[in-house]
Structure 1
Amino acid sequence: MTTQHEALEIPEILRRISTYLPGPDFTSCLQTCHSFHTILTPLLYNQLTLVQKEEKRPTLEALARYAHLVGALKFEHFMSAEYLNVGFKGLYSIHIVHMIRSREFQVGTDEEIMDALLRIIRENPALRKWTLHNPWPRLSSKVWKELSSLKKNPTQGGSDQRQQLAVQSRGCDVLDLTSITVTHDAKHWFLRACADARELRILDVSFMVAGGNPDNCQLFLQLDKRPPQGRRVEIVEFHGYDVIHQLTFLSHLVEARHISWTSPAAGRMPIQTRPLPTLEDLKQFIKPTTWPKLRSLDLTGIPGRQLVRFSDECISHILGCLPDSQLEEFKLQGSTFGPLSAAELKRQLSCLQDLRLEPAGIQEQSALIQEVMESCPKLKVLRAGMISVGHMRRGKPWVCHGLKELAVQIDLESDRDGAVVDKEVDYDTVYFEKHAASRRYVFERLSKLTELVELDTSLPYYGHGDLTYYLLSNRYQSPYWTLEYQIPYGLDQLASLKKLEKLKWSNNHQRIYKEDLAWMADNLPSLKTICAEFDRNATKHKEMAAFLLEKGITVGAHRYR
């Protein structure tokens, strides 16, 4: 037995052990094995993954014995009608992922698999979570219909109570969809299932286009009579369901706590049958009574792929329709965040916990960032453009002492009453000393944020929009414009950041020395990663990176965020 490596089941293991054990010891061994089997089997089968290779998944006979123990079932690049029909009764979650659309690892016809899925839905009333990632074969209209809660009430006379409960509880609470193609005949029931889900995530979903005029899905959904039930809704790249219809859908989410919607028309091949939403459209759909319970709003698009931008007036209107002091998270990218939006956001500062803004101007956003940091005691995450030392000096002390993630560029030029453009300052001693004092002041302010886990002062870079910070950095290629992480400039004041795990900065002709890195390794006990360039010379950079690796700190090349 010691020289063979066989996959043995418990009966065979016991038979072989029994040849070496006396009776009493064998009885004790049997009792121990039974206890282990009783305890471990439910844990083993509670979450089951079925994969392509036959030797890595249980046999049909073994699974049939323990199917009642399975709660979360996952098919990974494999689908089988036989396995679906083994008799699952206690499923609460099903996950189907099939990265390659091929019938090579499909057991059973499309019809047999769809019938098996229908049986799964009907026999597992607790099955409320569906995660579908490029499922193959495509789900039929009957399956989508069963996933919706739009059902007729069961007959009362002579009906079994358990059967009534099963019928009433059908539907889907959590629907997570990635890379889904919906057939034309399944389109309506697919949308109904999406509307009835309490948690909905849509990433890269498209409809197969059929001949003739498009169906009036809005009329079928009857959103006024049966509004969407979503509490948490994320829509990213929804092809074939135009933006106005998406906006109509979102405007009926009266129970929503979290809404995430990419910039309209973001995607490879958006299909638009109506014009993109204007301020007038938003005023029609989004009103003060639209999202009374909303806590989180994410309008983050896909970087580099936005095809339209909401104006400052549009963002201002959306924020203006939210109740005061209720929004905890706000994320915006791909649209304009200007003074009108900033004025509306100020109504939420007392409860804001997560704020992520695309850079939209140095001075305009700098004043807002300073006001956020001096007015948001609950703030945990702040990612934005720039904050100037001038606004920091003129502002109040920061109150966001629980901040865990901070990603802002520090503007040192403003501390000398105006930026320096096209001026040789490399050997200006007075200028040098002034900015050395500015750096020490910034490090002193940062040292008060003792809960920081990630600090990022790298130069933000976005490849779209009116302002590109990459081009701006070329104008200010001076070591005095950026925050240098050196001990003479106050780096040692960051010794209070005992929880800091990740540190990022841009190079911008920055001069970092080995003693500075040694100080970081010795005085920042939680530091695990530094993303930066330590020297413009590649050889010197590699030497210092190797030094950090010896200290247990990984290094990532990162110049812009």
Structure 2
Amino acid sequence: MQPAQHTALNLAEIITAIGSFLPRSSIVACLQLNSSFHSLLAPFIYNHLKLFSRRNVAKLPTTQTLVRYAHLVHDLSINSFVSLAYLTAGYRNLRSISFSSHKGNQAAQLGTDDEILDALLQLLQDNPGLKGWTLDDPWPQIPAVVWKAVAESTTELDVLCLYNTIVSDEARPWFLKACRKTRQLVLQNVTIQGSESSNNFTGHTDTPSFSPQSVQFNNVSGLPMLDQLEFLSRCLHLQDVFWEPVSHDIRQQLQQATEQEVMSMREEIRRFFQRTTWPRLKYVTLRKYGDYSDSSLASILMIEILNHILESIQAGRLEQLVCMGSVLGTAGLRSLSRQFSNLSILTARGCAAISSPVVQQLLESCPQLTTIDVTELHIRDIRRGGPWVCTRMVVLHLSFNLWLEKDDVGWRDFACSPLADTDQDELETTRFIQDQHCVFDQLSRLTALEYLDVQVFPLRFNGVARSGGSDMLHYGELDFRTSHGLEMLSTLKKLRCLNFSGTFQRLQREDVEMMVAQWPLLYCLSGRLTSDEGLDTSLGGYLDEHDIERGLLE
């Protein structure tokens, strides 16, 4: 009796579903089986087409192949070269174009500048459904006629991204029109030529709002800070903002500004925020250009801007705040406290306002926290505070400060009376282990933790710098030995990476074995394991046997 023929592979839906799980090489092999497989699986190869430098000619499709499958291409990306043949293959269904050629790669350019620009213009005209336009250091530079086509080709863009790009004075109005109609706008290292006022950016229009829901202004030259702020104030549907208000050229302007000009600028900032609401804003990244003192004009403006932004967000709406450096003031800190219920990501290393008591308050008050990167948490604040409630924490970057200071209970002036005998050493070591247990007890609650970075605090002992001493003294850093409570962290079953960079531990074989046993997903251990070079090599070999990477960070 002949077995019944299985007909599942005759169903197009089954073939397509299987193809979605196959690697590219397997799909290519399947294309050659029969015409049915070929027609069903070819879109997986050509829907998202990435063409890289001509130095990799063997991996580029031939022109004939590209012409044959051009109708399948939805997302076209040409990187590090430009070729007239690849631009004129006959695309009709493009949704996005990503174009980077770089002036330094002109030797790889096939076609004159005018031919390339004509081909780009034709490409835009042939694909009226285009929703994405990305440029990265394009050459030849994109002229006004192409920007006009981008601005007028569709009623709304999904994505407009520019990196390392110059927009000419002639192209400026069309470029700015395109900015106003896109949902996601990214301008990074962009120079906008021309000296006209912000009316060019916001447009001579009574339109109450612009389309962007996500905006990134990172080192944008030729567009004053108030012009950028005016634009943002019109984005009433804004959900995500990444902003560098004080870019290089704006910082230079501030250095030459008069006191009256500065006061006028601050009044303008307040005026914009008084009439601005972002009911959907959830993600805020504020970046400062270069280093400057907290008392500088640039720093003062950054503090005011972030304070106003946080005040403009509805309570409990903010999910992510990134503000590296000292750009958060007292008013902003009060506004941040209104967001504790929903705050998920906080990156504020070096932000003076996020002091140790604030860090403890965050850990005990933000149940949704998954990532935190801040400067310091002192043992006194851990002891005074409550239990940490952020049990969803995945990434923790934090320097634990276990040094007692003058007003702390148990502090002694070891500068005048150094540890000179065994009893004093034992007393101080006992206190240190108790404090460490307090830290480990809080860490043990973070059962979802995958990355733990406990960077060392500067070497000092009760305010006194130390360069050596008893082996029993640990200079205020966490000690990951079994004798010091390592087993308390056995609850961290999802831990994948432990980083004690800038320090060295005093680990023995039993300590490393416990780490491997109680953290089954551990793949990376960064930092010095021990001061004994021979033992360190032996422990490193043991970690290699268990496929755990070593990161030797000083």
Partner amino acid for 1:410?
Answer: F
For residue 478 of structure 2, what is the aligned residue in structure 1?
483
**1:113 matched to which residue of 2?**
116
CA contact (8 A) 2:323 2:351 kept: no
What letter is aligned with 1:216? Answer: S
Matched, 1:452 2:449: yes
CA offset at residue 259 of structure 1?
A: 0.5
Residues 263 and 335 of structure 1 are in contact (CA less than 8 Å); yes or no, is this contact kept in structure 2? no
Match of 1:251 in 2: 233
2:24 aligns with: none
**Structure 2 residue corresponding to 1:406, chosen from 396, 402, 410:** 396
Aligned residues of 1:263 and 1:334 also touching (Cα < 8 A): no
Report the Cα distance in structure 2 between the residues aligned to 1:30 and 1:172, rounded to whole angstroms: 34
CA distance in 2, matches of 1:43, 1:337: 47
Does the alignment pair 1:377 with 2:367? Answer: yes
1:528 aligns with 2:529: no
1:433 aligns with 2:430: yes
Q: Does 1:309 align with 2:310?
A: no
What secondary structure does 2:187 align onto? strand
TM-score of the two chains, using structure 1 as the length reference: 0.80
The question of 1:240 aligning with 2:235 is answered no
> In 1, are the aligned partners of 2:367 and 2:392 still within 8 Å (CA)?
yes
Does the 8 A contact of 1:73 with 1:94 survive in 2? yes
Partner of 1:417: 409
Name the aligned partner's letter for residue 36 of structure 2: S
Rounded to whole Å, the distance in 1 between the matches of 2:443 and 2:204 is: 49
SS in 1 for 2:362: helix
1:129 corresponds to which residue? Answer: 132
**Residues 92-111 of structure 1 mapped to structure 2, 5 A cutoff:** 92-99=95-102, 101-111=104-114
The question of whether the paired residues in 2 share the 8 Å contact of 1:291 and 1:322 is answered with yes
Deviation at 1:191, TM superposition (A): 2.5
CA RMSD, aligned part only? 3.2
Which position in structure 2 is the counterpart of 1:84?
87
The whole-number CA distance in structure 2 between the counterparts of 1:295 and 1:189 is 30
Q: Does 1:517 align with 2:520?
A: no
Equivalent position to 1:388, from 378, 397, 403: 378
CA contact (8 A) 1:367 1:391 kept: yes
- 2:356 equivalent in structure 1: 366
Mapped partners of 1:402, 1:30: distance in 2:
45
Q: What residue identity is the alignment partner of 1:176? A: C
CA distance in 2, matches of 1:234, 1:476: 45
Change (3 A) 1:195 1:501: same
Name the counterpart of 2:188: 203
Partner of 1:215: 196
Which digits, 9 at most, give the CA deviation of each residue in 1:486-524, with x for residues without a partner? 111111111111111111114446433333222212221
Contact 1:188 1:217 in 2 (8 A): no
What is the rounded CA distance, in whole Å, between the counterparts of 1:269 and 1:106 in structure 2? Answer: 38
Q: Which amino acid aligns with 2:225?
A: V
**CA displacement, residues 297-326 of structure 1 (integer Å, 9 cap, x when unaligned):** 111336758983246555333322221111
> Is there any run of 5+ residues in structure 2 with no aligned partner, and where?
1-29, 468-472
Match of 1:551 among 501, 525, 546: 546
Aligned residue for 2:306, secondary structure, equals helix
Tell me how far apart the structure 1 counterparts of residues 441 and 275 of structure 2 sit (CA, whole Å): 42
Q: After superposition, what is the alpha-carbon deviation per residue over 1:175-201, rounded to whole angstroms, capped at 9, x for unaligned?
A: 122211222322232222223221011
Please tell me the residue identity of whatever aligns with 2:350. Answer: P
Corresponding residue SS for 1:520: helix
Residue 282 (str. 1) matches residue 269 (str. 2): yes
* Distance verdict in 2 for CA 1:223–1:330, change over 3 Å: farther
- Whether 2:189 is the aligned partner of 1:185: answer no
Distance change >3 Å, CA 67–CA 508, structure 1 → 2: closer
Separation of aligned partners in 1, 2:515 and 2:204: 57
| Larger CA deviation: 314-323 vs 274-283 | 274-283
Question: Contact 1:479 / 1:508 at 8 angstroms: preserved in 2?
Answer: no
Q: How far, CA to CA, are the matches of 2:136 and 2:312 in structure 1?
A: 35
Q: Which residue number in structure 1 is paired with residue 309 of structure 2?
A: 318
By how many angstroms is 1:263 displaced? 5.2
What SS does the aligned partner of 1:173 have? strand
Task: Tell me if the contact between 1:444 and 1:493 (Cα under 8 Å) persists in the aligned partners.
Answer: yes
Q: Which stretch of the first structure deviates more once superposed, 41-50 or 532-541? A: 532-541
Alpha carbons of structure 1 residues 321 and 50: separation in structure 2 relative to 1, 3 Å: closer
- Provide the C-alpha distance between the structure 2 equivalents of 1:356 and 1:45, rounded to a whole number of angstroms: 39
Residue 421 of structure 1 contacts residue 475 of structure 1 at CA under 8 Å; is this kept in 2?
no
- What displacement does 1:243 show? 2.1
- Structure 1, 303-312 or 60-69: larger mean CA deviation: 303-312
Q: Which amino acid aligns with 1:345?
A: L
Bigger drift between 323-332 and 388-397 goes to 388-397
Secondary structure of 1:286's counterpart equals: helix
Aligned to 2:206: 225
Code of the residue aligned with 2:334 in structure 1: it is A
Per-residue Cα deviation, 1:26-77 (whole angstroms, up to 9, x for no partner): xxx9994223322222221112122314433222222112110111111122
CA distance in 2: counterparts of 1:262 and 1:422, whole angstroms: 46
Tell me the distance in 2 between the aligned counterparts of 1:113 and 1:474.
67
Deviations along 1:378-403, one digit per CA (max 9) or x if unpaired, are: 11111112122222222222211111
Structure 1 residue 174: Cα displacement? 0.4
Query: Structure 1 residues 313, 183: CA separation in 2 closer, same or farther (over 3 Å shift)?
Result: closer
Contact 2:325 2:352 in 1 (8 A): no
- The change in CA–CA distance for 1:200 and 1:312 in structure 2 (over 3 A counts) is closer
Give the whole-Å Cα distance in 2 for the aligned partners of 1:276 and 1:104.
Answer: 48
Unaligned runs of 5+ in 1: 1-28, 152-166, 461-468
Secondary structure, in 3 states, of the residue corresponding to 1:400?
Answer: coil
Mean Cα deviation higher: 104-113 or 314-323: 314-323
Among 343, 346, 349, which residue is 1:352 paired with?
343
Q: Using a 3 Å threshold, how does the CA distance of structure 1 residues 541 and 142 change in structure 2: closer, same or farther?
A: farther
Contact 2:377 2:399 in 1 (8 A): yes
* Residues 241 and 271, structure 1, Cα contact 8 Å, conserved in 2: no
Distance 1:246 1:520 in 2: 50
Query: For 1:63, what is the secondary structure of its paired residue?
Result: helix
Question: What SS is found at the alignment partner of 1:250?
Answer: helix
Deviation of 1:130 (Å): 1.9
Q: Residues 435 and 480 of structure 1 are in contact (CA less than 8 Å); yes or no, is this contact kept in structure 2?
A: no
Q: Does 1:75 align with 2:78?
A: yes
Measure, in 1, the Cα distance between the counterparts of 2:262 and 2:535: 52
With 345-354 and 60-69 compared, the bigger mean Cα shift is at 60-69
Query: Could you tell me which residue of structure 2 aligns to residue 157 of structure 1?
Result: none
Superimposed CA distance per residue, residues 64-102 of structure 1 (whole angstroms, 9 cap, x where no aligned partner) = 121101111111222122322221011112222335533
Q: Secondary structure at 2:274's aligned position in 1?
A: coil
Identity within the alignment, %: 30
C-alpha displacement at 1:552, in angstroms?
0.9
Q: Distance in 1 between matches of 2:532 and 2:133?
A: 51
Determine which of 150, 157, 162 is the counterpart of 1:172.
157
**Matching residue's letter, 1:512:** L
Matched with 2:493 is 498
